[in-house]
A = this chain, B = another copy of it.
Amino acid sequence: FCCLRMFLHEITFFHVNDGSSLQSLQIVADPHLGSRDITFGSAVEVWGKLVPSPHQKQNVELQANKITLVGSCNPVSFPFKIKDRHSLEYLRQFPHLRCKTNVFSSLLRLRSEATAAINSFFKNNGFIHIHTPIITSNDCEGGGELFQVEPASRKEDKNQDNPHFFNVPSFLTVSGQLHLEVMAGAFTQVYTFGPTFRAENSQTRRHLAEFYMVEAELAFTESLEDIMKVMENLFKSATSHILSECPEDVELFHKYLAPEQKVCSWFNILNHVNLIFRLSYTEAIDILQDSTKTFTFKPQWGCDLQTEHEKYLVQHCGNIPVFVINYPYDIKPFYARDNQDGPQHTVSAVDLLVPGIGELCGGSLREERLDLLQSRLKQHGFKDSYQWYEELRQFGSVPHGGFGMGFERYLQCVLGVENIKDVIPFPRFSHSCLL
């Protein structure tokens, strides 16, 4: 005999679900046990006997002795209806309720499993987990789209000796990389997995104002291959973990939401030793220029790859992930390591492009040579604020590098989810911060 306390997802046969799996438990009950107040969305407590089920689709079912209504649910005002399949756009209006639907509870279980898989991957490979700061006085990428942070009450109080809470302007982090570089100088292999922020006004299906990044940094690197190996292994390890641990949840996405995205194709990719195709940036530009396709942005050496270019390259290589390496010196941030390769002049940077998404990861070797770094910082005009960063190159500097992977894009890619707003519990983007 057992006592089950769950959320009622269907009233026919009393299907109850506690959120631990997609599959509900079927309750078999005498008609006098069920109350008319028990409707779709109610919370119930059920006492009964767990018995083998005669149905093929389930191992067990519960023969109920007692059913109690814990929390009722008005079927008129409840926005989800038992017989309807609601669109993801519709569900997005109810961030406080959509986790009660099959599709979003599957998503959040997968997200939780993927998070655990990523943490396990790094732990098993000897990486130390670092909580890089969220509030920072640095602007890692040199880009402008930062959120600034000040106390809410500060505005009213103008009579202060310093206009800033932290004495300096402070921002929400766009990347933990520079702080991870600090740590790679002590622990050799480090990673972080936390929120990052962009104050972008764009409303695309690939961008959020608040999103999660997995970032890793390795000391004593010999080439970009060291970084690419970790990127590849991380991708494989996390993906094979969720495919094996949550097959039903993955199937829901592949079958109903992204029918063209076949589970077996992922298995094929994972089982190949050389998972990922490799192209130099220069080769990539050649491929794009040789293509008969008309691009909105004309592909040209020295310009950054656009999403349309990235997607074409993935398609061109057989719809598998592609590494593009050695980007032009002038389009990458100050910390990317100079390849010193003559007139072409590239840096050791790499992007991982994936089917359906385009850029999933970006990484580079970092300039560990003090003189080259200093001239680069000077060129970018922020020499003084990076004194500490230069000092890392003065006290036991080593060749190092790392990468970042957008966690939501990873979930979009593996599950085939169109819109990034549907792979995060509470999406934040311009004009929207619900709850």
Which residues of A come within 8 Å of B, CB atoms?
5-8, 18-20, 41-43, 45, 70-74, 77-78, 95-97, 99-100, 105, 108-109, 111-112, 115-116, 119, 123, 126, 128-138, 144-154, 162, 165-172, 178-179, 182-183, 185-188, 194-195, 197, 199, 209-210, 212, 219-220, 368, 388-389, 391-399, 424-426, 428, 430-435
Contacts and interface: CB of A to CB of B under 8 A. Distances in A.
Contact of A19 (B162, B165, B188): B188
Contact of A425 (B111, B132, B399): B132
A199 B397 contact: no
A199 B126 contact: no
B20 A187 contact: yes
B435 A396 contact: no
Task: Please state the number of chain copies in the assembly.
Answer: 2
Contacts of A42: 396
Contacts of A116: 119, 123, 129
A7 B433 CA distance: 45
B165 A430 contact: yes
A182 B99 contact: yes
Contact of A96 (B43, B150, B392, B397): B392
Contacts of A219: 5, 43
Given A73-B396, A195-B194, A210-B134, A186 B152 contact: no
Top 8 closest A-B pairs, CB basis?
A19-B187, A151-B199, A166-B433, A71-B397, A99-B186, A43-B396, A5-B220, A148-B152
A105 B433 contact: no
A111 B7 CA distance: 37
A144 B399 CA distance: 46
A99 B187 contact: yes
Contacts of A393: 71
Contacts of A368: 71
A280 to B, nearest CB: 28
B183 A435 contact: no
7 contacts: A19-B188, A45-B220, A97-B391, A116-B129, A134-B172, A147-B165, A165-B199
Contacts of A179: 425-426, 435
Given A149-B172, A187-B99, A131 B212 contact: yes
Contacts of A99: 182-183, 185-187
A178 to B, nearest CB: 7
A137 B426 CA distance: 11
B5 A131 contact: no
A234 to B, nearest CB: 17
Contact of A149 (B41, B148, B183, B186): B148
A129 B112 contact: yes
Nearest to A119: B119
Contact of A152 (B108, B169, B394, B430): B169
Contacts of A166: 209, 428, 430-433
A108 B179 CA distance: 13
A114 to B, nearest CB: 10
A162 B95 CA distance: 23
Contact of A136 (B5, B77, B435): B435
Nearest to A212: B131
Contacts of A169: 152
